[in-house]
Structure 1
Amino acid sequence: MSRKSFLPERFAHKYEIDPRFSKSAVYFSCEFAIDQSFKIYSGGLGFLAGSHMRSAADLRQNMAGIGILWTYGYYNQVRGEDREMAVQFRKKVYSFLQDTGIRYTVPVHGHPVWVKVMFLAGEIFGTVPMFFLTTDIEENDDLSRAITHRLYDNDPLRRIAQYIILGVGGARLLEELGVDPEIWHLNEAHGLSAAFHLYKTHGNLDDVKKRLIFTTHTPEEAGNEKHNFQLLRDFTFFSGLDEHTIRKITGIEGEIFNHSLAALRLAKKANGVSKLHGEVSREMWKDAPDICEITHITNAQNKKYWVDHGMENARKENDIEMLCNRKRELKERLFRVVADQTGKLFRPDVLTIVWARRFAGYKRPDLITKEMRLFREILNNNERPVQIIWAGKPYPFDYSAIDTFDHLIRITKDYPNATVLTGYELELSRFLKNGSDVWLNNPVVTREASGTSGMTAAMNGSVNLSTYDGWICEFAKDGENSFIIPPLDPELDHAERDRQDMLGFYTILKERILPLYYDTPDEWNRIVLNSMNDVSPEFDSDRMAAEYYEKMYR
């Protein structure tokens, strides 16, 4: 057991802290994708946070995580009677969590809400020690119990309560543990209420700023959460601070409270999650006075968790035959899932394209279907066949995104080589990355802050085909380790932009990728190996976790 862990002995790190990472830090996040069995995540933000917690442990950092124990998780994605997407909420039970015996109240809308703390020991899933807060206990009334039922609840008032439990509840946990970490790292602004608790405790802004670090993942001003100022006061979001003090320390005037802007004024330093996103964030906030420095630390994923060992061994030995044999095995494994879900029998010798991530409008999941003539043409090409798989979770109450998901199900229904999978969580994500040949990523440029799914695809021999956005700008060598849809004039109207990006996809697929894959497989496999070699260590989260200490925490 580490003698230098900042946590009390019964929760302490089970490793000796590396002196390079001895500064104590706690990481607040609404979601963590740690293991398939622990369903408290929705998408990329959780995947990133889970990888961070794993790498922090691998590097023996003096860090702990604080999150919410969501009773019903995000949601279970299943199929309805006509194969369309359906949403299920099922209560989750986890035997691997320990009841700490710690309970305390947090004021929400002036009402004391009981919080129970569960502990995840680091050795369970290879993370740092982690604490999860729940209000779903007998001491609370039904309304209070429901606060921690659903991740990103569709009730906006309940969402405010959730942010209070994460922020103030997390701060209260640290008090109960008798610790005051040197760094309080907010992964997005969901835990911002912790800053006001800190101010109330210490009585001055300097003590808040010297602790607080803010990571923003949202590249659009409109995407940063806002609420009515008085509503937040009524909810006790500001820990009972008077209005004059709140406005003085946040610099926010008027009736609209912008959470991200407040975080930028209360933190000592903030970061975007790719080089491009850092630039976009600085431009977005350039007219806001008194904000902290915004730098960037590019997101990454934990290679030790994500990489297939057979593919990795082939990479290390530069063994093309081993690489191809293992990729075929992984494709066959993925295609058993396809057959089980859809009754379609995919073939391992056919180029397989996967689009899989959170369903959101700017990610354009249906982009390549906008011109059905071109879409049918590639699906009906028997000389150079193609298989296409979609997967991902729309927000359960985003009916436009769900309609897009169902539209893809309908238009692929009669094609034996195109399909949509449900249940997109960690394990299906792994199968898709392992079993795909091409990882398609086509967001509207500058709207994807980072987009980490392509990193883990590359680690497993899937070649990125992407618009020039997010992390790709730091990785891609077009035609060498990936394929890039050419950047467009940003002044194009939305319809023409989408049309040009769609045509860029078809041009690259038909003129470059398909000839390489079928006619010159040695050259294709060279690109696969280049991709696998180039993606790490730069996009392994060990680099990222170390960089937070080096650039942000110091």
Structure 2
Amino acid sequence: MKALKSFTVRPQLPAPLAALDRLSSNLRWSWDRPTRELFIMVDSQAWDEGGHDPRRVLAEASTERLLELSTDPVFLERLAAADAALSAYLDLPRWYQQVAAPNSGLNADAPAEFDSNKAGAIAYFSPEFGISEAVPQYSGGLGILAGDHLKAASDLGVPLVAIGLFYRHGYFRQSLSVDGWQQERFPDLDPHAMALELCDGVRITLDLAGETLTAQVWKATVGRTPLYMLDADIPENPESLQLVTDRLYGGDVEHRLRQEILLGVGGIRALRALGIEAEVFHTNEGHAGFLGLERIREHMSSDGLSFDQALAAVRAGAVFTTHTPVPAGIDRFPRELMEKYFGSWAAACGISLDQLMKLGHRPEEATEEPFNMAVMGMRLAERRNGVSALHGEVSREMFAELWPGVPEEETPVGSITNGVHGATWVSAEIAEVLSDSVGENWQWADADAWQSILTVDDQVLQDARDASKVRMVDHVRDRLRSHGLAQGRSSSELEWVNTAL
């Protein structure tokens, strides 16, 4: 049985520490080392045991500790510097405003909370976002890439808006039993305890086979980039619909279909409810592909376009990134489910169910075959890409038949090799070397500034590498020890951990 009401208690910060709340609310702390060090100074144990979450550190900090810090001149000086750095990061022009927009005629006015009604906004849809372990809404590489994408967009000043779902139980956590068997558990996540803000008054509704689903919207601020996450776990919905956003990649085929309808169709409606008029719609894998169907419906109902005209208009502003190199990894939905959930959509658009199914079928594929989300992604996008040069080749081979008469090597599927967000993944030791040589702002330094890295002494690099390795080994040993103790093993049984690695 669900609790009637949940609430989160937070301590009252002394006035001199008010900036801690602002710093903890912007997920830029996840890649800004000076900000993270502030929260470690507040309570290093809470930082380590609480998943490196500033919100939890503040929630668990004692009144005495906060009062002590409020009169600590060293801490207050570092707090003021971090707060000023965040303000500068949010307000000052970045690469997009200085270089990209002026040279391309795009809108250059894109500060942290940019006016989304102006030209140039990009809507980025993904089923998961790996920004920080403090916001566990990811399972693996797809989410980590999406999280790094938002961070990079923020650093560059690109006016990007992200759309996802908020899963109340995230993705399963793994552990091993005493007998060595994998165990799974799904955490209960409280969005009020995270660096999330409820968008008051913003609700979207959509029809799911005759049932009305209502979703609220949470906002995470990732540097300069807003991430909006739809949440169906609210009292307005019956329990069956509250469960639509229960777990990432959970449930049966119909459950997945409902999630993807909420992400795609609901995501477009959330943008409208928020007053955001994006010009480009980028889907990270096929999970959000139904956004294209919603945009077709909008163009037909609002602009008076025919189905073919609306399809062309949607395609002109769409980008599709495919990650899956094998057909078995692509979502496919049976015809009967597509009819159940999109039969009324097809009728409203004046097309048959067979015509709808063709959007997710390869040429000559029987109409009874399942609806392929990757095929629809390819058909509804003007730009398509794999995630490496080799994957681009594989994707051109996989989808060549969608363009009959075009040589396979000319199939219009390009490639953009996955990268990582440097400031997130570079170790503290290497980051210090880069700061000393390239400069404090090495993350966005130009090519000329990076030439100075060639002058760094080899021993300096080796020392940094060795220090990183020692820290990694210590971390692994701590994890092994804590896991063993949690299984009920004695300290004597775990002595081997001291020499592991």
The TM-score range, normalised by the shorter chain, is 0.5 to 0.7
Distance 1:148 1:237, change over 3 A: farther
Does 2:143 correspond to 1:33?
Answer: no
Q: Which moved more, 1:231-240 or 1:64-73?
A: 231-240
Q: Deviations over 1:131-176 (max 9, x none)?
A: 0111011111111111111100142221111101100110111221
Q: Tell me how far apart the structure 1 counterparts of residues 264 and 272 of structure 2 sit (CA, whole Å).
A: 13
The one of 365, 377, 383 equivalent to 1:263 is 377
> What displacement does 1:114 show?
0.8
- SS of the aligned residue for 1:286 comes to helix
Name 1:334's counterpart in structure 2: 472
1:268 partner amino acid: E
CA contact (8 A) 2:346 2:356 kept: no
Distance 1:50 1:180, change over 3 A: same
Higher relative contact order (CA 8 A, sep 6+): 1
The aligned runs of 1:437-516 (5 Å cut-off) are none
Name 2:338's counterpart in structure 1: 232
The one of 221, 225, 229 equivalent to 1:128 is 225
Does 2:185 correspond to 1:88?
Answer: yes
CA contact (8 A) 1:273 1:299 kept: yes
Does 2:320 correspond to 1:214?
Answer: yes
The one of 205, 226, 229 equivalent to 1:105 is 205
CA contact (8 A) 1:275 1:297 kept: yes
Name 1:319's counterpart in structure 2: 457
Distance 1:237 1:15, change over 3 A: farther
Name 2:353's counterpart in structure 1: 243
CA contact (8 A) 1:31 1:41 kept: yes
Larger relative helix fraction: 2
What TM-score, normalized by structure 2, do the two folds share? 0.62
> What displacement does 1:197 show?
0.7
CA contact (8 A) 2:333 2:372 kept: yes
The count of residues paired between Structure 1 and Structure 2 equals: 336
Q: Deviations over 1:498-547 (max 9, x none)?
A: xxxxxxxxxxxxxxxxxxxxxxxxxxxxxxxxxxxxxxxxxxxxxxxxxx
- SS of the aligned residue for 2:413 comes to strand
The one of 352, 362, 367 equivalent to 1:254 is 367
Q: Tell me how far apart the structure 2 counterparts of residues 99 and 314 of structure 1 sit (CA, whole Å).
A: 40
Distance 1:113 1:237, change over 3 A: farther
Q: Tell me how far apart the structure 1 counterparts of residues 175 and 343 of structure 2 sit (CA, whole Å).
A: 36
- SS of the aligned residue for 2:401 comes to coil
CA root-mean-square deviation:
2.7
2:334 partner amino acid: N
Identity in percent: 31
> What displacement does 1:298 show?
0.8
Q: Deviations over 1:181-215 (max 9, x none)?
A: 11110000000111111111112211110121100
CA contact (8 A) 2:357 2:371 kept: no
1:280 partner amino acid: V
Distance 1:78 1:312, change over 3 A: same
Q: Tell me how far apart the structure 1 counterparts of residues 481 and 139 of structure 2 sit (CA, whole Å).
A: 27
- SS of the aligned residue for 2:384 comes to strand
CA contact (8 A) 1:213 1:268 kept: yes
The one of 160, 165, 169 equivalent to 1:72 is 169
- SS of the aligned residue for 2:205 comes to strand
What TM-score, normalized by structure 1, do the two folds share? 0.56
Q: Tell me how far apart the structure 1 counterparts of residues 361 and 241 of structure 2 sit (CA, whole Å).
A: 31
The aligned runs of 1:365-384 (5 Å cut-off) are none
Name 1:499's counterpart in structure 2: none
Q: Deviations over 1:296-347 (max 9, x none)?
A: 1111111122112422444635233222333232222222232223249xxx
Q: Which moved more, 1:39-48 or 1:329-338?
A: 329-338
1:321 partner amino acid: Q
Q: Which moved more, 1:211-220 or 1:329-338?
A: 329-338
2:367 partner amino acid: G
Q: Which moved more, 1:310-319 or 1:51-60?
A: 310-319
- SS of the aligned residue for 2:225 comes to coil
Name 2:112's counterpart in structure 1: none
Name 2:386's counterpart in structure 1: 272
Q: Which moved more, 1:202-211 or 1:313-322?
A: 313-322
Q: Tell me how far apart the structure 2 counterparts of residues 254 and 222 of structure 1 sit (CA, whole Å).
A: 19
2:332 partner amino acid: K
> What displacement does 1:60 show?
0.7
- SS of the aligned residue for 1:146 comes to helix
Q: Tell me how far apart the structure 1 counterparts of residues 320 and 250 of structure 2 sit (CA, whole Å).
A: 23
1:301 partner amino acid: V
Q: Tell me how far apart the structure 2 counterparts of residues 238 and 31 of structure 1 sit (CA, whole Å).
A: 29
Q: Tell me how far apart the structure 2 counterparts of residues 222 and 216 of structure 1 sit (CA, whole Å).
A: 13
Gaps of 5+ in 2: 1-89, 108-119, 301-309, 435-452, 483-494
Distance 1:163 1:307, change over 3 A: same
Distance 1:187 1:237, change over 3 A: farther
The one of 284, 289, 294 equivalent to 2:403 is 289
Distance 1:86 1:15, change over 3 A: farther
CA contact (8 A) 1:107 1:236 kept: no
Distance 1:314 1:174, change over 3 A: closer
Does 2:121 correspond to 1:24?
Answer: yes
> What displacement does 1:416 show?
8.7
Q: Tell me how far apart the structure 1 counterparts of residues 476 and 232 of structure 2 sit (CA, whole Å).
A: 38
Distance 1:81 1:261, change over 3 A: same
> What displacement does 1:233 show?
2.3
> What displacement does 1:254 show?
1.5
Gaps of 5+ in 1: 1-12, 345-412, 420-554
- SS of the aligned residue for 1:184 comes to strand
> What displacement does 1:26 show?
0.4
Name 1:307's counterpart in structure 2: 426
1:183 partner amino acid: V
Q: Tell me how far apart the structure 2 counterparts of residues 268 and 237 of structure 1 sit (CA, whole Å).
A: 26
Q: Tell me how far apart the structure 2 counterparts of residues 249 and 281 of structure 1 sit (CA, whole Å).
A: 18
Distance 1:335 1:245, change over 3 A: same
1:308 partner amino acid: S
- SS of the aligned residue for 2:470 comes to helix
> What displacement does 1:263 show?
1.3
Does 2:227 correspond to 1:117?
Answer: no
- SS of the aligned residue for 2:402 comes to coil
2:214 partner amino acid: W
